[in-house]
């Protein structure tokens, strides 16, 4: 099949943020992989997302002695999403693998992903069989979240999947066109479509260093996922508002008739307070929801570049 012949070069994109502890191990394992590969030409692309430790020096040294290693250093910490976009915009090979610097995604699986790619699949995404080292709460909340997201967005969302995947040129070009500033890769990978296939693996523990995630960031990402997939929360606000207005009108009529028939009755403090509180809460919530979307519009209309590069070593001809 001629698909085989055109699928011969691949870039491994590694976003890094303060990864000095894991990088030496990553270099070693990637080297071993690249040296044993016969029918595939590798490029390593490190995107440093504003590290403040020794990460940049390690990458620079490694790239000096390894011709297949390239790098982009961003001008500050932009977040993994934007760091990945910086990488995606600078891929010149037939395929792209995105992998974490902390070796939670074993690079040794790449050849197996390549096999599937060469069978004609465009997006070979790795799905975790197990999530070792993650708490019960994290697993459960993540499952619920994606179930809901899938329901409300109507787009098939890959569960237990991170950014570890092999993307064909078609997908890379598609992703390059999605230049929105508020990025949610999971949404984007699902949105582009193409021939997808899952690939089961065991996600390892972080090799070294600390995760940059915390619950606050996760909640942020979760809200981001919903607002970038669907405008349903806005509709819910409208429906809830309409329902409450309707009930209010009915209640007003009841109160009016009762007052006319039986005269003014003073007690009613509790019911008044409840209504005021519920309405106030609903209004604030709706405002918040509108604010989330408006914020996205605001960020996008500023039309700023998604990231800025401070230093790079990219070979555009391969
Ligand atoms: N990362 C990044 N920018 C950030 C935070 C993280 O480029 O602001 C990189 C990090 O170096 C790692 C990957 O994103 O290669 C995943 O980060 P982490 O391991 O902290 O997340 P987790 O695996 O816990 O979800
Ligand atoms: Mg990690």
Q: What is the DSSP string of 110-169?
A: HHHHHHHHHTT-SEEEEEEEEETT--HHHHHHHHHHHHHHHHHH-S---TTEEEEEEEEH
Give dist(CA 256, CA 251) in Å, integer: 8
Backbone angles phi, psi at 181, to 5 degrees: -80, -35
Residues 209 and 241 in one domain: no
Position 127 in a domain: yes
Distance in Å, CA 46 to ligand 1 centroid:
13
17, 21, 209, best to mutate for ligand 1 pocket (most atoms within 8 Å of CB): 17
Query: Which residues does residue 311 pair with via DSSP β-bridges, in sequence order?
Result: 73
Which is the closest atom of ligand 1 to the Cα of 14?
Answer: 15
- How much is the pTM? 0.77
Calculate the CA dihedral of residues 201, 202, 205, 211 and round it to 10 degrees.
40
Which is the closest atom of ligand 1 to the Cα of 78?
Answer: 8
Tokens, residue 29: 């394992």
pLDDT tens string, the chain, 318 residues long: the values are 455 557 889 999 999 999 998 999 999 999 999 988 888 889 999 999 999 999 999 999 999 999 899 999 999 999 899 999 999 999 999 999 999 998 888 999 999 999 999 998 999 998 888 766 667 887 788 788 888 878 877 777 777 788 899 999 999 999 999 888 878 887 888 888 898 998 888 877 777 777 776 778 778 777 877 877 777 888 788 888 888 888 888 888 888 888 888 877 677 777 787 788 778 877 877 887 888 888 888 878 888 889 999 988 888 765
Please indicate whether residue 79, judged by its CB atom, sits closer than 6 Å to ligand 1.
Answer: yes
Tokens, residue 48: 């440093």
Which is the closest atom of ligand 1 to the Cα of 101?
Answer: 15
Tokens 């391969």 locate to: 318
Residues 209 and 258 in one domain: no
Residues 187 and 79 in one domain: yes
Position 178 in a domain: yes
Contact (Cβ atoms closer than 8 angstroms) between residue 37 and residue 111: yes
Residues 207 and 59 in one domain: yes
Contact (Cβ atoms closer than 8 angstroms) between residue 95 and residue 117: yes
Distance in Å, CA 269 to ligand 1 centroid:
53
Please indicate whether residue 87, judged by its CB atom, sits closer than 6 Å to ligand 1.
Answer: no
Distance in Å, CA 87 to ligand 1 centroid:
14
Judging by DSSP bridges, how do beta strands 309-313 and 196-203 pair with one another?
Answer: unpaired
Please indicate whether residue 83, judged by its CB atom, sits closer than 6 Å to ligand 1.
Answer: yes
We report the CATH number of the domain holding residue 212 as: 3.90.550.10
Of residues 122, 126, 98, 101, the one with CA closest to residue 112: 126
Q: Whose alpha carbon is nearest atom 25 of ligand 1?
A: 213
Which is the closest atom of ligand 1 to the Cα of 18?
Answer: 11
Parent domain of 286: 232-301
Q: Whose alpha carbon is nearest atom 3 of ligand 1?
A: 80
Residues 212 and 98 in one domain: yes
Three-state DSSP state, 234: helix
Which is the closest atom of ligand 1 to the Cα of 104?
Answer: 23
Distance in Å, CA 191 to ligand 2 centroid:
24
Alpha carbon separation from 113 to 39, 108, 127, 173, 201 (Å, rounded): 14, 10, 12, 20, 11
Residues 169 and 136 in one domain: yes
Position 270 in a domain: yes
């Amino acid at each position: 099949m001629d698909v085989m012949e055109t699928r011969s070069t691949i870039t491994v994109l590694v976003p890094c943020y303060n990864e000095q502890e894991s990088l030496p191990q990553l270099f070693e394992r990637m080297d071993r992989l690249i040296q044993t590969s016969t029918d595939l030409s590798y490029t390593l692309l490190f995107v440093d997302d504003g590290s403040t430790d020794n990460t940049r020096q390690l990458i620079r040294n490694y790239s000096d002695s390894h011709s297949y290693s390239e790098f982009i250093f961003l001008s500050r910490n932009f977040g993994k999403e934007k760091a990945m976009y910086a990488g995606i915009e600078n891929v010149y090979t037939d395929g792209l693998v995105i992998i974490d610097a902390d070796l939670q995604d074993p690079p040794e699986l790449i050849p197996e992903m390549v096999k599937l790619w060469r069978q004609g699949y465009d997006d070979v995404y790795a799905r975790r069989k197990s999530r070792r080292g993650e708490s019960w709460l994290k697993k459960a909340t993540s499952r619920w979240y994606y179930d809901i997201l899938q329901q409300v967005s109507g787009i098939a969302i890959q569960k237990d999947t991170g950014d570890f995947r092999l993307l064909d040129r078609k997908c890379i070009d598609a992703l390059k066109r999605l230049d929105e500033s508020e990025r949610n890769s999971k949404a984007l990978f699902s949105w582009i479509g193409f021939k997808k296939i899952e690939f089961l693996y065991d996600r390892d523990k972080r090799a070294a260093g600390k995760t940059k995630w915390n619950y606050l960031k996760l909640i942020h990402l979760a809200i981001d996922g919903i607002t970038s997939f669907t405008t349903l929360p806005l509709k819910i606000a409208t429906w809830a508002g309409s329902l409450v207005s309707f009930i209010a009108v009915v209640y007003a009529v009841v109160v009016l008739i009762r007052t006319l028939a039986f005269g003014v009755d003073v007690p009613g403090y509790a019911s008044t307070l409840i209504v005021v509180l519920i309405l106030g809460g609903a209004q604030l919530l709706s405002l918040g929801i509108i604010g989330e979307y408006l914020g996205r519009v605001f960020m996008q209309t500023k039309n700023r570049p998604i990231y800025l590069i401070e230093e790079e070593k990219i070979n555009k001809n391969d």
